[in-house]
Structure 1
Amino acid sequence: MLQRLAIALGSVLALVASLLALSLPAHADTGFRVENGRLVDAAGNDFVIRGVSHAHTWFAHETGAFADIKSHGANTVRVVLSSGDRWTENSVSDVENVVSLCKANRLICMLEVHDTTGYGEQAGAATLDQAVDYWLRIQDAVKGEEDHILVNIGNEPYGNDAAANQGWAADTGAAINRLRDAGFDHTLVVDAPNWGQDWQGIMRDNASSVFDSDPDRNTVFSIHMYGVYQQESTVVSYLEHFTDAGLPLIVGEFGHDHSDGNPDEDAIMSHTERLGLGYIGWSWSGNGGGVEYLDMVEGFDGDSLTPWGERIFYGPNGIAQTAQEAPVYGGPGGDPGEEPSEEPSEEPSEEPTDPPADGGCTAEFRVVNEWSGGFQGEVTVTADAPITGWTVTWTQPAGQSVTQAWNADVSTSGSTVTASNVSYNGTLAAGQSTAFGFTGTHSGGASAPDATCAAAS
């Protein structure tokens, strides 16, 4: 009897352990993770990707692109790498430098292997298995950077060949598990077949099983939206299939036009914003083969935006308007900056001074980036007590002006700038911070003026 009880108890404990293993990610406290169908950081802060692709592997000398991309408000850069199967392999040291450039410019790095593009239809395209071989070769460059890096296993890993596409789910699951077995704790990003556009619905129909095959439950799906997505209804149907199913999705590539049709970029940008999904536009600069119109800037010049660049950065639902810096860099929910000293610098006076009229918050202004004639500023608002809204004001130095802003409603009267919260970032708990950003012009250099904050409680 006792032996039977012991066996029964052991079976129950084994069942409980197996259920916990299924429900809990293996590396819940490491870097980014997927939680309830959302991409969050290690502290559980939501992170919505707003970025662009940069063709680093073909333009490795254009290292200034990282600062320029950040200067227009992006929080993420998708970096094109090569496994050496079709183009020159990016070395460990090169990838390490890319990661350092991303971190120096407060960007999340999504690294992707481009050699897999169009496998089964494109001559010379690499398999996902070959892409994993490359990730294992450069593992030292990304290990320990799980809070700054997302690993996009392979770009558009299948063309339109029906037989090859049927292997997408099994091959993608196998690639995920090889990386996990090798110690990759990063959030993994997997592209759809059909040149990334999934017009056959293969990723859509198999996403749940692929997600479940990841022992860490930390895989994000990436759809590329070009000519297949000319109709708003098609865009909405695809996006909402994933959100309704609680599966994580980003639009990993899209443009304002394409050789296979005219995608509805307005619908893509508005509905990803409505649903809280990330998007990454293609691409910063360097396009050829008849799609030069997809360049966002002319000749890698960050100050020479093309019509597509103006649209994606500064149009409705654009990057500058909707991006929030990653929490790891001090964005919403993240580290607001330096730790306060334990001892106050001065003894408090016996008579407290009158608080500000509304009081309740502080504002810290800093210059994030600067270039010839322009700069990017950021203001971090921190609540001293629970508040339901805030207004920040500052006096612009001579020759300095604000041109575009995001995450705040900003107006200028003479030299006075007033910035107020928008609908989603006005309510803050005591000690909680949020940030807004802007770009501006200057003559002779940018400076960070003192900013004051008034709050509604």
Structure 2
Amino acid sequence: MRRRRLFGGLAALLVAVAGVVAVTAQPAQAAAGFTVSGSRILDANGNAFVMRGVNHAHTWYADKLGSLADIKALGANTVRVVLSSGDRWTRNDAADVTNVITQCKANRLICVLEVHDTTGYGEESAATTLARAVDYWIAIRSALAGQERYVILNIGNEPYGNTGTAGWVADTKNAITRLRAAGFEHSIMVDAPNWGQDWSFTMRDNAASVFATDPQRNTIFSIHMYGVFDTAAEIDDYLGRFITAGLPIVVGEFGHNHSDGNPDEDTILATAQSRGIGYLGWSWSGNGGGVEYLDLVTNFNASALTSWGQRLFNGANGIKATSREASVFGGTQPTTPTSPPTSPSVPPSSPPPTGRQCTATYAVTGSWGGGFQGAVTVTAGGAAITSWTVTWTWPSGQRFTNTWNAAVTSSGSAVTARNMSYNGSVPAGGSTSWGFTASWTGTNTAPTPTCAAA
């Protein structure tokens, strides 16, 4: 994203109904770094990793690489770095990319590298093809080989505008095939067409076949959320279809405002958090062309957060509250990101619980006519726990329509949720979370959950 076209009336097209074919993503067999398992992204140690970070326009501001330290200091675990293949802007050569990766690693940031020259192909006359982006990646492979633990390759930014989007499918498959044939073992990220917003559902409805093209089954899908995604229902439906299909999805770009409409950033953040989906806000600093309001900081000054920066870094479900560093950098980190409870689990004057105990906090994160989305945060007491069970009774006849990050059973109004294999172990004082969507009629009274640990 640098400039964006107006998409008059495109949000209305989101009422089109089409399903993502369910294909469970399995971990890559040979990759030395990131892999995917179902809808989850795993780091090289096999731990779940959820991106919490920002975009940085390196190719236009090559002298601002020191911003990576500032991005890390504000809590990010990932940075998406804008590069150029030389087709539209000054080429970032292998030496420069090596330096970028070195600085990412020094700041313990996972580095998502993307070629920006493809932005809006078919509608933007200066844009280049995904094939040219692949040519670039192959040409600088010396900078990328051996960095699979720290680098994810985002083939090309927003590789189609609103014209000829059907070509996205074959072009993306060909790009993945060529990269694998050239020996790349990195996780590959692919952006949606329609300037990244996929209002035509081209990526959504062809994601399973694109994923199957990758012999390593190690492809991640990236949606950019601006004015097309201005309601909770649109956001939840789009992301939910990938989760249901067992395919990995991240929000590779999003903002709090845009010339094509007002995105619902609160729901984007809440839904990403409750569903364990990564997000990368656009962008650190240096925006032009009328979208300067998307700067997270003013003039690359980390102490001058804009209102958008305050929201993304310090707000509810924001980076500071939910980011967890990739385990490849060492140290003990929870395997899933968590939000702090919305209210204290015990009175502040009470001592923390001891032994194998846990508390559960229930929160509604979004709602619409007849339905809502919620999140449950499980917090360990004074000792680490290896498993947890949350129970409650629905007080108003609510019923689940979908759940994730927990094994949930219901008997009438009685609910029992148990940990999955990957999120049962919680360190003392640490937290994990699971989420759900549900239906309701009349009133939506919150239940009172209880938590048992072992």
State the TM-score, normalized to the length of structure 2.
0.70
In the alignment, which residue of structure 2 is the partner of 1:25? 28
Q: Which whole-Å CA distance do the structure 1 matches of 2:264 and 2:383 have between them?
A: 43
Q: Distance in 2 between matches of 1:246 and 1:167?
A: 24
2:58 matched residue in structure 1:
56
Which blocks of at least 5 consecutive residues in structure 1 are unaligned?
1-21, 336-356, 361-380, 390-422, 437-455
User: Could you give the per-residue CA deviations for residues 240-262 of structure 1, whole angstroms, max 9, x where no partner exists?
Assistant: 01001111100000000001000
2:30 aligned partner, one-letter code: H
Deviations 1:293-322 (A, max 9, x none): 000000000111000000000001000001
Show the counterpart of 1:145: 147
- 2:264 and 2:239 map into 1 onto residues whose CA distance is 14
**One-letter amino acid of the structure 2 residue matched with residue 276 of structure 1:** G
Inter-partner Cα distance in structure 1 for 2:387 and 2:194: 47
Q: Is 2:166 aligned against 1:166? A: yes
Tell me if structure 1 keeps the 8 A contact 2:49–2:326: yes
- 1:273 deviates by 0.6
Match of 1:93 in 2: 95
For 1:41, give the aligned amino acid.
D
Equivalent in the alignment of 2:400: none
Q: How many residue pairs get matched?
A: 339
What pairs with 1:330-341 in structure 2 (closer than 5 Å)?
Answer: 330=330, 332=332
Matched, 1:279 2:285: no
Which of 80, 85, 91 aligns to 1:78? It is: 80
SS at match of 1:266: helix
Maintained 8 Å contact 1:117/1:156: yes
Give the aligned residue type for 1:217: R
**Which structure is higher in helix share?**
1
| Residue matched to 1:41 | 43
**Residues 173 and 210, structure 1, Cα contact 8 Å, conserved in 2:** yes
Alignment RMSD (CA, Å)? 2.9
Distance in 1, matches of 2:159 and 2:170, equals: 13
Taking a change above 3 Å as real, the CA distance of residues 153 and 435 of structure 1, as seen in their structure-2 partners, is farther
User: Quick one: distance in 2 between partners of 1:289 and 1:387?
Assistant: 52
CA contact (8 A) 2:324 2:333 kept: no
CA contact (8 A) 1:324 1:435 kept: no
SS at match of 2:162: coil
Q: Which aligned segments of 4 or more residues in structure 1 are displaced greater than 2 angstroms?
A: 22-26, 330-335, 357-360, 383-389, 423-429, 432-436
Q: Distance in 2 between matches of 1:433 and 1:133?
A: 49
Q: Which amino acid aligns with 1:222?
A: S
Give the distance between the partners of 2:34 and 2:139, measured in 1 at CA.
Answer: 22
Judging changes above 3 Å, is the alpha-carbon distance between structure 1 residues 33 and 73 closer, same or farther for their aligned structure 2 residues? same
* Shift, 1:41, TM fit: 1.4
Structure 1 residue identity aligned to 2:154: N
Listed as ranges, the matches of 1:32-431 within 5 Å are 32-161=34-163, 164-330=164-330, 332=332, 428=425
Q: Is the 8 A contact 2:26 2:36 kept in 1?
A: no
**Is this contact kept in 1: 2:79–2:112, CA < 8 A?**
yes
TM-superposed CA distance for 1:44, in Å, is: 1.7
Q: Assess if the C-alpha contact under 8 Å between 1:325 and 1:332 holds in 2.
A: no
Q: CA deviation at 1:25?
A: 3.0
**1:191 aligned partner, one-letter code:** D
1:304-341 deviation line (CA, Å, top 9, x unaligned): 10000000000010000011001111255699xxxxxx
| Larger relative contact order (Cα-Cα within 8 Å, sequence gap ≥ 6) | 2
Compare CA radii of gyration and give the structure with the larger one: 1
Q: Is the 8 A contact 2:383 2:429 kept in 1?
A: no
